[in-house]
Structure 1
Amino acid sequence: MRNVIVILGDQLNLDNPALEGFDCEQDLVLMVEAQHESTHVWSHKARIALFLSAMRHFAQTLQSQHYPLRYLKLGDHEHVDLASAWLALLSEYDPQQIIVCEPGDYRVLKALEDCASTLNKRLIVRDDTFFLCSQADFKRWAGQGKQLRMEYFYRYMRKRYHVLMAGEEPVGGKWSYDHENRKSFSKDGPQNIPAVPEFEIDPITQAVFADVERLFPEHPGRIDDFCWPVTRAQALLFLQHFIATKLVDFGTHQDAMWQSDLASGAFLWHSLLASPLNLKLLHPKEVIEAIEQAYVKDNLPLASVEGFIRQILGWREFIRGLYWLDMPAMAEANHYAHQRDLPNWYWTGKTNMNCMRQTIKQTMQYGYAHHIQRLMVTGMFGLLAEIEPKQVADWYLAVYVDAVDWVELPNVVGMALHANGGRFTSKPYIASGAYIKRMSNYCNSCSYQPDLKTSAKACPVTTLYWNFLIKHEQVLLNNPRTLLMVKNLNRFNDEEKTLIQHKAQQVLNALDEI
């Protein structure tokens, strides 16, 4: 055998660069389902189901295209992890070389490198062409002396790909319309939210559901409300649905949150395209081009269009570049030396804090929460509650269907927890309960009151926010972006500050009980 092509669970497209030059007479495709991929973090049932169903559908596509394929299903082999399966199968086939597209997980890359080394085989790792900025290009950009800020990178990418550009200037005269995309809902809440696209749960996915319930019965979350695309056709349906029904209103309330028992209330006007993008069912370039075309054709609001493109062309590419630039050190980052354990209710939602309860309830139901729920609810609380960053990062990797290490780790460590000390952000993302009250209706039915800091009814977010400012006052005073927030401490005398710290310590000592 000439080549064994290893295809991973987040590389599910026939344009996979590892398949370039494939020869059906001499080469073989290898795909493996391994139990460890669902247990190295305690993965949500919907996340497991999404990956397995998408993989099995892609295997079917490969077979229909007559690719020689060896596919190992969970339950049909004895190998617990990818490494042991690879070692056994590569020993069996004894290829001249192993080819893979760049993995999205440093751990998986190292396992494959170790396997190739053990077998004394040449490993070829090809650039992942489903990103618009290669690792080498990002490293060059990062080495040009600029601050590692998404704003600068985003401008570079807009110019490079001529996206939303009028000559050398941005369409509309501004690079970002973020300030127009932060509105909360009125007291009546969101109105006329488009429904989620529906498609049939076919026999492949039904079999996956049965396997998940049989093999991972105690894992968190549920699959009763599974609604995620598992094929390219379904992913294209989600893209078309977003453009046709949601994009026009996407920008206005993209940071807002609302308590609801309906799927539409959970998803609001968000695209739900992160998981098909991360599985490579969609290419970011085709998504951006479709959005631009709709902007021109349908005269859509520039703030919505630019806000969405910034997420794909800017933040997504920026985060991926930083992951590979900073690994493996990123995984151990702990700027504040936080060591507290993740509260048990992160897995159940059984807390008196309604913002956390609603976000976690939604997460366990769908494997989904939008970026503000992740950043300014579950993530911000992890920072203020001084939880060990690795435990928080592992939780995010476990519970969200779109979670791949390259995207989840830098977002958690760098954005939500500021655990790398501001390597690519200008400040910690912190706020009191007043922010959550302004951006949602969560506080209306909460046991705590967001404007209270020290009483029995004091909001834990508010208490811990002021405690964080007191604890890190000198550092925050030296940061122009946190200066005004820290100056608010001047409202309190020493006795009031002591009361806040005392109440905060009570909260921190009983995180499982709040």
Structure 2
Amino acid sequence: MSQYHTLRVVLGDQLNAAHKWFRKPEAGVLHLIAELHPEATYVKHHIQKLCAFFLAMENFAKALQDAGHHVQYLTLDDTQGQTLESLVLGMAKAYQVSRIQLQRPDEYRVMMDYQAIASNASVPVSLTDTEHFMLPFEEIPRHFKAKTTIRMEHFYRKMRQRFNILMEEDHSPVGGNWNYDNANRQALKQKDLAHIPEPLLFSHDVTHIVQRIEQHQIPYIGKAQTQLLWPVSRHDSLTLLQYFCDHLLPNFGRFQDAMTDQTPHGWSLYHSRLSFALNSKMLHPSHVIKAAVLSYRYRKDIDIAQVEGFVRQILGWREYVRGMYWINMPDYHEQNALNAERDLPEYFWTGDTKMNCLANAIGQSLDYGYAHHIQRLMVTGNFCMLTGIHPDQVDEWYLGIYVDAIEWVELPNTRSMSQFADGGWVASKPYAASGSYIQKMSDYCSSCHYNVKEKVGEQACPLNSLYWRFMIQHRDKLLKNPRIGMIYGNWDKQDKAQQDAVLERAEWCLDNIEAL
């Protein structure tokens, strides 16, 4: 008879040490944690993303073993030729277990795998919650409706009230306002650059993981390095959270939309970079929120606008996109409201473009597997939307290149917020912008090959003409939008010769997109 009666499967994004499964070791229970070829190859991932997940999984398995749990950790060497379904069913048969226990997956494709496991298993299969998100999964239909516009702000306020976060005793929001976004749109001035804190980076040896990835010929984005800067344990994650509260939170909100290439720390600025720790579940969102709010209460240098902006990202946006993802799957993948069909330019894989904003955002993404939300939304995302890149290709790039990218969070952010491919389920307008926005929020334009002030001519910033082409192309859909409809008045006031010149420049940019 087998020494195990229960097989529990722990995925790479289920590294939650506080889960009820791990409160105390149980005799007869085996936990399976495995590196799988299909998970490493369903898109081409950044090498740092692969290393971060594999090392975090390895560390989690060791921590469970040290705590007395029974764990089977399998590497790519052990699982070659296996799918998630074949591996789980094979392990269940090999150990002659009487039941299989799974945690609810956060991706639709994995849920399909789990349904196949349940259908084909010869023993009972049960599904339990991951105990991670603040909104219970079964409540998603109460807050979200498929293919329907749901505004994040209304959801966010309900979550603030429900969990009593930044609320007064009379149930009003701390500071009198729910949202301080208007106070959080400052660009970095020259005097600000010298005060940007050095980011906390880890230095984990991943030589053995890189060798394994290359031995198995797993394709990847980026350049393989032997040292990994990302947190790969709960201890690392808590250390990074504390560093954020101590050094970055005082200016987080103020500069959360800012961009710069004038300092070595421009890629990180005041951002927490906790998204990988959160999305792998090494950190719980309530823990992160409590730490930030506690710092605000006891530190005079942290005002309400800084902490509210951070809380809104975690309690508001993160929980919101998860709800939008699940209520709209599997149809989300089919959304292409703007009929975008163009291929992604080659420089998205090299960073070799004369557009300085793109070169910086793509370059740091290739270097670090990371870019902050404005770089993703208003630089690479804006460019892809203006040029009509097919959302399938945009999704694949974002899902692969970022260390924190898991489909439940990537898909709504990319296809909805960034590309407006859903026609407005998430965003109330397309986040389209000309070069003037980049100039306002960054110093990229000052050293760019192109002139941000010009709309036509060889030196004109491509974003300027592409913006107007996009707006005219989709005029019928956007004219009645109260947030952007008035923009067409500016266009209509221009003489036809000027309009034609701008649109001609845009067509040239599209025809020569690989040379921009």
- Equivalent position of 2:79 in the other structure: 77
Worse-superposed segment, 286-295 or 452-461: 452-461
Residue 193 of structure 1 and its aligned partner are, at CA, apart by 1.6
Superposition map of 1:365-380 within 5 A: 365-380=367-382
Residue 387 of structure 1 and its aligned partner are, at CA, apart by 0.6
- Equivalent position of 2:276 in the other structure: 275
Residue 118 of structure 1 and its aligned partner are, at CA, apart by 2.2
- Equivalent position of 1:296 in the other structure: 297
Residue 134 of structure 1 and its aligned partner are, at CA, apart by 1.5
Residue 471 of structure 1 and its aligned partner are, at CA, apart by 0.9
Give secondary structure in 1 for the equivalent of 2:18.
coil
Residue 199 of structure 1 and its aligned partner are, at CA, apart by 4.0
- In structure 2, stretches of 5+ residues that fail to align are none
- Equivalent position of 2:88 in the other structure: 86
Matching residue's letter, 1:283: H
Distance 1:407 1:513 in 2: 32
Matching residue's letter, 2:333: A
Residues 1-45 of structure 1, C-alpha deviation per residue, up to 9 Å, x if partnerless? 53211100011122235x278873332111110122222111110
Superposition map of 1:367-446 within 5 A: 367-446=369-448
Query: Are 2:141 and 1:166 equivalent residues in the alignment?
Result: no
Distance 2:415 2:351 in 1: 22
Kept after mapping to 2: 8 A contact 1:24/1:67? yes
2:462 paired residue among 448, 460, 463: 460
Residue 270 of structure 1 and its aligned partner are, at CA, apart by 0.4
Kept after mapping to 2: 8 A contact 1:223/1:366? no
Give secondary structure in 1 for the equivalent of 2:127.
strand
- Equivalent position of 1:6 in the other structure: 9
Kept after mapping to 1: 8 A contact 2:17/2:282? no
Residues 225-272 of structure 1, C-alpha deviation per residue, up to 9 Å, x if partnerless? 63110000010000000001111011111100001462x221001011
Matching residue's letter, 1:2: H
- In structure 1, stretches of 5+ residues that fail to align are none
1:486 paired residue among 485, 488, 492: 488
Distance 2:372 2:215 in 1: 30
Residue 485 of structure 1 and its aligned partner are, at CA, apart by 2.3
Kept after mapping to 2: 8 A contact 1:16/1:101? no
Superposition map of 1:45-64 within 5 A: 45-64=47-66
Distance 1:295 1:93 in 2: 51
Residues 466-486 of structure 1, C-alpha deviation per residue, up to 9 Å, x if partnerless? 101111123222010012223
Matching residue's letter, 1:154: Y
- Equivalent position of 2:321 in the other structure: 319
Residue 96 of structure 1 and its aligned partner are, at CA, apart by 3.0
- Equivalent position of 1:179 in the other structure: 182
TM (norm. structure 2) is 0.94
Residue 145 of structure 1 and its aligned partner are, at CA, apart by 13
Worse-superposed segment, 447-456 or 404-413: 447-456
Matching residue's letter, 2:179: S
Distance 1:446 1:239 in 2: 35
Distance 2:104 2:364 in 1: 32
Distance 1:509 1:118 in 2: 51
Residue 210 of structure 1 and its aligned partner are, at CA, apart by 3.3
Give secondary structure in 2 for the equivalent of 1:257.
coil
Distance 1:198 1:510 in 2: 39
TM (norm. structure 1) is 0.94
Kept after mapping to 2: 8 A contact 1:470/1:497? no
Residue 448 of structure 1 and its aligned partner are, at CA, apart by 1.3
Distance 2:118 2:219 in 1: 34
Distance 1:173 1:456 in 2: 50
Worse-superposed segment, 102-111 or 214-223: 214-223
Q: 1:91 to 1:491 in 2, by over 3 A?
A: farther
Query: Are 2:514 and 1:506 equivalent residues in the alignment?
Result: no
Structure 1 runs, 4 residues or longer, greater than 6 Å off: 20-23
Distance 1:385 1:242 in 2: 36
Kept after mapping to 2: 8 A contact 1:226/1:366? no
Distance 1:107 1:438 in 2: 40
Kept after mapping to 1: 8 A contact 2:262/2:443? no
Matching residue's letter, 1:166: E
Distance 2:96 2:198 in 1: 50
Matching residue's letter, 1:375: L
Distance 1:345 1:313 in 2: 35
- Equivalent position of 1:196 in the other structure: 199
Q: 1:449 to 1:83 in 2, by over 3 A?
A: farther
- Equivalent position of 1:15 in the other structure: 18
Q: 1:488 to 1:93 in 2, by over 3 A?
A: farther
Residue 500 of structure 1 and its aligned partner are, at CA, apart by 2.6
Distance 2:513 2:89 in 1: 44
Distance 2:43 2:122 in 1: 30
- Number of aligned positions between the proteins: 510
Q: 1:14 to 1:462 in 2, by over 3 A?
A: same
Matching residue's letter, 2:381: G
Matching residue's letter, 2:223: R
Residue 444 of structure 1 and its aligned partner are, at CA, apart by 1.3
Give secondary structure in 2 for the equivalent of 1:5.
strand
Matching residue's letter, 1:180: A
Residue 188 of structure 1 and its aligned partner are, at CA, apart by 4.9
- Equivalent position of 1:133 in the other structure: 135
Q: 1:213 to 1:101 in 2, by over 3 A?
A: same
Give secondary structure in 1 for the equivalent of 2:388.
coil
Kept after mapping to 1: 8 A contact 2:36/2:84? yes
Give secondary structure in 2 for the equivalent of 1:71.
strand
Worse-superposed segment, 245-254 or 140-149: 140-149
Kept after mapping to 1: 8 A contact 2:355/2:448? yes
After superposition, the CA RMSD in angstroms is 2.1
Matching residue's letter, 2:196: I
Distance 1:179 1:274 in 2: 24
Kept after mapping to 2: 8 A contact 1:10/1:278? yes
Residue 97 of structure 1 and its aligned partner are, at CA, apart by 2.8
Q: 1:268 to 1:345 in 2, by over 3 A?
A: same
Worse-superposed segment, 117-126 or 148-157: 117-126
Residue 80 of structure 1 and its aligned partner are, at CA, apart by 4.8
Q: 1:512 to 1:121 in 2, by over 3 A?
A: farther
Kept after mapping to 2: 8 A contact 1:102/1:126? yes
Kept after mapping to 2: 8 A contact 1:416/1:429? yes
Distance 2:60 2:401 in 1: 23
Distance 2:339 2:304 in 1: 42
Residue 388 of structure 1 and its aligned partner are, at CA, apart by 0.6
Kept after mapping to 2: 8 A contact 1:476/1:486? no
Kept after mapping to 2: 8 A contact 1:3/1:99? yes
- Equivalent position of 1:155 in the other structure: 157
Worse-superposed segment, 167-176 or 111-120: 111-120
Give secondary structure in 2 for the equivalent of 1:318.
helix
Distance 2:84 2:314 in 1: 30
Residue 136 of structure 1 and its aligned partner are, at CA, apart by 1.8
Distance 1:457 1:268 in 2: 30
